[in-house]
Amino acid sequence: MSDPASAAPARVAADLADPLFRNAYALMANGGITGLLGLGYWFLAARHYDPADVGRNWAVIQAVMFVGGLTALNFMLIRFIPQTGRRTGAFVAASYVIGSGAAVVIALGFLLTLHWWGPSFAHLHGVGAGLWFLAMAFAWNIFTQQDAVFTGLRQAHWVPIENTVFGVAKAVLLVAFAAALPRDGVGLSWMLPVMVSLVPVNLFIFGRLIPAHARETGGRRPPPKGAEIAHYVGGDYLGGLFSHATINLIPVVVAARIDPHTNAYFTMAWVLGMMLNLLSITMAMSLTVEGAFDGTRFAVKVRAALRRTVMLLIPASVLTVLLCPFALKVFGPGYAAQGAPLLQLLAAATLPKAIIELYLGVLRVRSRTRAIAVIQGARLTGTLAVVLMVPTESVLIGTGVGVLLVHVVIAIAVYPALRRAAAEGDEPVANGPRRAAPC
């Protein structure tokens, strides 16, 4: 009988030898590091800044994330970088130009409609503040796409390194700005490291990683044609748009309905809840990359991803539900009293979210983009409807209830199809059906 103590390191070594888990674990490590640094960041923000300033600054950061990430073509990069070979550099550059340019246009539209968005965004009026917002949207779009490039290149271990440096830098700046810039220090500490990092990170990507990838994969298979990419993006981008809005538009809508003080309490719970979802999102990303690189034995990969996600996610969710009422007290009594019930509901929603994310990974490998758009659209519209319907005084708890109920319903609907994908034979699927199939 094998010794469990000696079997565990062997199991870890075997996992790290498998690109599916190696990429996924790197991205999960990024989530864990980002989460720890994020906790430290928000602890410092709660200690050094007034809650109203935290809520107002975070509302703007969330708006930047929404408009800047709206046109980040991440899932396209993850899906096709494994197959673009010597054209990878041009493919990534085109994604950067299209995504960041469109982000600036959308950010301009947001500025022109500021009167819709409430007092948390009122300080963006004015030419100087507007130009700064446009610059932030441009930088955030490229910053977001970088993680997808690392993942698609099978170099996801650089993601936690990059984000660790980002997390430390923004925490240092947060404290440094507290005395001199108490009203805007949170926003500045978040976005300045993003802007400074773009040049060195992309010099590394285009100067080293992409050439190595081109040498390794060039000629391995015909690169995808423009029509194939356009067809995929036409469906997957719509689904990605809905997914992005579910994460980043919902907080903007909530911020428009409540005062900056209360938004600080909402923000803390929402950010921590979204960190839990990184476990399943990163596993689904890794599943997409591995299915695109090699579509054989795909059912085995689906089973392994599902098993490992559940094994990691259930303990994390249960601990969050049990401990968050006490843990949030370190940020202040308001954060615990108003934020803990929302965080508990978001933690309870992580398992149904994981089922949905893994099924979306299967659909991306099979290029079933219409089904992706339908599922993601249902998540967004269902959650947004609940948020808009609940009374303002109940919007925090109502948002949590909406997130949980919508994801439970969708997970029940897609789980049988995910089980079938995990039980199928090991036929190649990475270059599977090009036309969307019904979900």
- The pLDDT score that the predictor gives to residue 433 is 39
- The pLDDT score that the predictor gives to residue 436 is 36
- The pLDDT score that the predictor gives to residue 343 is 92
Distance, CA of 337 to CA of 66 (rounded, Å): 28
- The pLDDT score that the predictor gives to residue 28 is 61
Instruction: Report which residue type is found at 69.
Output: G
Who has greater pLDDT, 193 or 70?
Answer: 193
pLDDT confidence bin for 399, thresholds 50/70/90? very high
Q: How far is CA 75 from CA 163, 227, 229, in A?
A: 19, 17, 11
Structure tokens at 31: 């989530």
Reported as a single tens digit per residue, the pLDDT across 349-373 is 989 998 998 898 888 878 787 888 8
Intra-chain end-to-end CA distance of the chain, in Å:
45
pLDDT over threshold 70, residue 292: no
Let me know: does 143 contact 198? Beta carbons within 8 Å: yes
Distant-in-sequence, close-in-space partners of 424: CB < 8 Å, separation ≥ 6 = 298, 299
- The pLDDT score that the predictor gives to residue 17 is 54
Structure tokens at 21: 């888990």
- The pLDDT score that the predictor gives to residue 269 is 87
Who has greater pLDDT, 87 or 103?
Answer: 103
pLDDT over threshold 70, residue 224: no
DSSP 330: G
Who has greater pLDDT, 119 or 138?
Answer: 138
Number of other CB atoms surrounding residue 199 within 10 Å: 9
Let me know: does 366 contact 432? Beta carbons within 8 Å: yes
Who has greater pLDDT, 334 or 196?
Answer: 196
Distance, CA of 219 to CA of 84 (rounded, Å): 9
- The pLDDT score that the predictor gives to residue 199 is 94
Mean pLDDT of 315-321: 89
Mean pLDDT of 269-286: 78
Distance, CA of 84 to CA of 221 (rounded, Å): 9
Let me know: does 302 contact 276? Beta carbons within 8 Å: no
pLDDT above 70 coverage of the chain, percent:
82
Mean pLDDT of 215-239: 68
- Global confidence as pTM: 0.66
pLDDT over threshold 80, residue 403: yes
pLDDT over threshold 70, residue 11: no
Distance, CA of 273 to CA of 129 (rounded, Å): 30
Reported as a single tens digit per residue, the pLDDT across 62-82 is 889 888 887 777 767 877 787
Side-chain half-sphere of 192: how many Cα atoms within 13 Å? 15
pLDDT over threshold 80, residue 286: no
Instruction: Report which residue type is found at 154.
Output: R
Where in the chain are the domains? 18-423
pLDDT over threshold 90, residue 193: yes
Mean pLDDT of 73-101: 83
Phi-psi region of 329 (alpha: psi -120 to 50; beta: other; left: phi over 0): alpha
pLDDT over threshold 60, residue 332: yes
Instruction: Report which residue type is found at 243.
Output: S
- The pLDDT score that the predictor gives to residue 264 is 82
Structure tokens at 261: 């003080």
- The pLDDT score that the predictor gives to residue 221 is 63
pLDDT over threshold 60, residue 386: yes
The sign of the torsion formed by the CA atoms of 257, 258, 264, 270 equals negative
Mean pLDDT of 253-267: 85
- The pLDDT score that the predictor gives to residue 172 is 93
Of 116-120, 254-258, 335-339, least confident by mean pLDDT is 116-120
Let me know: does 126 contact 184? Beta carbons within 8 Å: no
Who has greater pLDDT, 16 or 37?
Answer: 37
Place of tokens 């969710």: 317
pLDDT over threshold 80, residue 180: yes
Distant-in-sequence, close-in-space partners of 185: CB < 8 Å, separation ≥ 6 = 48, 49, 53, 57, 173, 174, 176, 177, 178
